[in-house]
Chains A and B, each alone.
Chain A
C-alpha cells in the first residue's frame, strides 16, 4: 500500500539528482527509472551546449551578482563586459572566432560564486571568467580558478595584498588610489584625518595603510570608525566628527551606507566647506543614488571618470549610452570591466590560443588605450598600470578632475616600494 508514497518520494529524489545534472553536459543520466521525467531539461541543456561547443566560438563566463544586495553595483559591470564583447565580436572576434558570453548569477552569496565558477570552468570550459566585485566573492572564486587553472578578470579597486597567477586585477591597487589620495590631501587640504568605513576587509586594510602613511608624513588620525553593513543611522558618527573637528574625512563606506552618511551629514549642516570628504567607493552610479546636491564639492579618488577627456572615452560613453539608455552613467569599475575584456582579447591574439598558461605569458606588457588613458598589464603581479585621478563632485552628478598623476602608476599591491608600509606587508 505504501509503495506509492515511497515510489514517488524516490522519484522526486531522483528527479532532483537529475536537476543537479542538467544545465550542463556531463550527466550521462544513468539512473534508469528517473530518466524519463527529465528529458525536457536535458534538451534545454543541450540547447545551451550547442552554442558553446561550436568550433567557431570561444565561451567566456560572466559571473556577477544579479540578485541580492550586491546586484546594485554588479549589474552595470556586467553590462560593460557585454558591451565590450559585442564590440569585439563586431570587429571579427578573437582569433577569428566569436566570443560567446555565458552569464551566471552569483546571487551575492559566496558559495554560489565558487559553485558557479567551477561550473563555468568544468562544464562550460570557458576561456576566462569576467566577474566578482566584493573581496569575499573574489576570494571564493580564487581557489577554484587556481585549482582548474582558469583565468579570472577582476574589475574593482581593492585592498591589495594579493597576487594570484590566475587572476588579473584591473581595478586599482592601494598605491593607485589610496596612497596618492592621502598624499594629495595632506599637501592640499590638511593633516588631521577622520577614517570612516564599513566593517569589512577593504576599509580596515585601507585604514591601516593610511595610518602608516600619515605616521610617516606627520599627519594625524583623529578617529577611526567602522559601521556594520546596512547601517543607516550616522548621527552618532556625525557627533564624533563634530567633537574631533578633522580637516579630512577619508571615507571607505560601501555603496548603501554612503547614501545615509552623506544625507545625514548634509542635514547636520556640514558641507564640503567645513570638512572635505574623500571617498574611494563613490562613483557616478552611486552619486545618482545619493543625490548630487549633498555630495557637491566632496572628492573622490579613482582612475577614471565619465568626464575623463580622452577620445577613447568619448566613444565608450556614447556606445554605453546607446546600448543601455541615455540616462545611464559610466564609472571606474564599469570602465575597468570594459577594458579588461580588450586586454584579455589582445593577450589571446598575442598567444594565438585561449590556453591559460599561454595567455598569461602573452599578457605581460600588453597595452591598450582605455577610456581612462593608456593601461598596461604588469607581468610581475598581473595588476594594471593606471593613471590616478582625484575628482570633485559637480552639481550635475559628474566629476571634475582636480589632479592626476600625469602618467600611469605602476601597481604595487604589496606596497613593497614604500618604506613606511613595512609593518603591513
Chain B
C-alpha cells in the first residue's frame, strides 16, 4: 500500500494519460475519444443522480440537447447572419431567444443554467408531490416526447429534424483544424476532471450521505427529519447542469445537433452506460460511457449487420447478472484475491468493499 498505488494516484494517472492522448492518437481517433469523454461527463451526472440518489431519469437527452443547442446557436450566429432555415421559412429577423445566444458567455452560462433551472422547477413540483421511482422515470419519458416534438414542429426557429449544423469557426479559429480540435479535447478532459472532482466532493459530503439514505429508504430518511424533496431537487438540477455542459462540449466535437439525439432511445442508452460501468461509483459511469461507445463504434464498423444482437445481449446480461457493472466485477475479483491471501470471509469483504464510494 505504498503511496504510489493509492486510489488517488491512479485516478490522476488516468487523467494524465487522457491529457497526453493528443500526442498519441490520429486526429480522427482523438475526435472520437473527445466525443466519448463528453458522454462520460454526461454519464457522471446520471451516475450521481441514479447511483447515489436512486433517481432514474430517462429524460437526460433533453438537458444534454439543450446544452448542445445553446452552443450550436452561438456558433451559428458568430459564423454570421441568420440561419438558413429561418430564411426558407420566411423569418427575416432574429427572434430574441436566438439573439441572446450571440454572446459566448451568455450562451455558455445559459447552456448550463437553463437545464438546471428547468430541472429545478420540474423537480420541485414532482418531488414535492412525492412522485418517485418508476413514476418519475415514466414522467421523464413524457417530458422527452413533449420537448422533441416541440423542437421538430417549430422548425422555423429550431431547424426541425435537420437540427443545427454547418458552423465552422469558434472565436475566429477553424473548428476543423487539428489545433482547435486538440484544444477542445483538452478542455473536455479538464472539464471531465473538474466534474469528477465536484461529484467526488458531493457524494462524500454530508449531502452525499443523505442522498444515499434517500436511495436506500426515502421514507425512513424523511421520518428522520430530512426534507428529502429538497435534496432530490438539488441533485436532479445538478445532474441536468452537468448534462448541459456535456452537450456543449459534444457539439463542439461533432458539429451537429438534431432532435433525434435527444429522444427516448438515446436517453435510455445514456443510463445503460452507467449500468454497464457500475452504478454507485464515480469511476463506473466514466468507464461505462467510454467502453460502451467504443465497443459499439468498433462492433458496428466490423459487423454492421449484427451488432445490435451483441449490444442488446450485453445490456441484458449486465443488468441481470452484474448489477454493479464492470466496477462490481473488479471488486469481486479483488475480494476473491484478498480472501485467498488472508483466508477471510469473501462475502463480507465484498460487501464492505462495495460501500466505498468513488
Contact = CB atoms under 8 A, between A and B. Distances in A.
A92 B166 CA distance: 39
Interface string A95-118: 000000001110111110011101
B337 A104 contact: no
A6 B155 contact: no
B155 A200 contact: yes
Select the residue from B32, B88, B256, B326 with max chain A CB neighbours within 10 A: B256
Interface string A343-384: 000000000000000000000000000000000000000000
Contacts of A13: 14, 17, 286-287, 290
Given A4-B330, A19-B297, A67 B308 contact: yes
Interface stretch (B22-30, B213-221, B315-323): B22-30
B132 interface: no
Interface string B1-38: 10001110011011001000101111111011101100
Interface string B163-190: 1011010000000100000000000000
B304 A19 contact: no
B327 interface: yes
B305 A66 contact: yes
B195 interface: no
Contacts of A27: 24-26, 29
Interface residues of A, number: 67
A104 B301 contact: yes
A109 B25 contact: no
Contacts of B326: 12
A171 B217 CA distance: 60
B165 A26 contact: no
A41 to B, nearest CB: 7
B25 A26 contact: yes
B166 A139 contact: yes
B103 interface: no
B88 A118 contact: no
Nearest to A111: B254
Given A6-B11, A24-B29, A199-B153, A110 B304 contact: no
Contact of A20 (B161, B297, B300, B337): B297
Nearest to A14: B17
Contact of A143 (B5, B162, B255): B255
B304 A66 contact: yes
A72 interface: no
B26 A114 contact: no
A36 interface: no
Contact of B260 (A110, A119, A199, A424): A110
A85 B161 CA distance: 32
Interface in B262-311: 283, 286-287, 290-291, 294-295, 297-298, 300-302, 304-305, 307-308
B166 A200 contact: no
Nearest to B308: A67
Contact of A107 (B89, B295, B300): B300
Contacts of A6: 5, 7, 10-11
B114 interface: no
A300 to B, nearest CB: 23
Contacts of B308: 67
A185 interface: no
Given A3-B10, A20-B36, A228-B152, A26 B90 contact: no
Contacts of A16: 36, 287, 290-291, 294-295
Contacts of B25: 17, 20-21, 26-27
Interface in A157-214: 161, 199-201, 204-205, 208
Select the residue from A16, A26, A118, A143 with max chain B CB neighbours within 10 A: A16
Contacts of B298: 19, 22-23, 41
B334 A5 contact: yes
A126 B5 CA distance: 46
B283 A200 contact: no
B161 A201 contact: yes
B85 interface: yes
Consensus secondary structure, chain A interface: helix
Interface string A61-79: 0000011000000000000
**B-side interface size class:** 35 or more
A122 interface: yes
A261 to B, nearest CB: 18
B88 A12 contact: no
Contacts of B153: 199, 226, 228
Nearest to B301: A23
A143 B330 contact: no
Nearest to B278: A9
A26 B28 contact: yes
Contacts of B26: 21, 24, 26-27, 122-123
Interface string B139-167: 00000000001001101000011110110
Contacts of A143: 165-166, 168, 176, 255-256
A44 interface: yes
A5 B24 CA distance: 25
B299 to A, nearest CB: 9
Contact of A10 (B10, B33, B327): B10
A135 B14 CA distance: 40
A204 B89 contact: yes
B128 interface: no
Contacts of B291: 12, 15-16, 19
A144 B166 CA distance: 9
A28 B304 CA distance: 25
B330 A122 contact: no
Select the residue from A107, A135, A136, A229 with max chain B CB neighbours within 10 A: A136
29 contacts: A1-B338, A2-B5, A2-B6, A5-B331, A6-B5, A8-B333, A9-B10, A9-B14, A12-B326, A14-B17, A16-B36, A17-B17, A17-B33, A19-B291, A23-B301, A26-B25, A26-B26, A27-B29, A105-B300, A114-B255, A115-B32, A119-B28, A136-B258, A139-B162, A143-B165, A147-B168, A201-B155, A208-B88, A228-B153
| 4 residue pairs, one from A and one from B, having the closest CB atoms | A26-B26, A6-B10, A3-B5, A105-B304
Given A6-B10, A66-B304, A67-B308, 19 more contacts: A2-B1, A6-B7, A9-B287, A13-B14, A16-B290, A17-B290, A21-B29, A23-B297, A26-B25, A105-B301, A109-B261, A115-B297, A118-B28, A140-B256, A147-B168, A199-B155, A200-B162, A201-B85, A201-B160
Interface of A: 1-10, 12-17, 19-24, 26-28, 30-31, 41, 44, 66-67, 103-105, 107-111, 114-116, 118-119, 122-123, 134-136, 139-140, 142-144, 147, 161, 199-201, 204-205, 208, 226, 228-229, 423-424
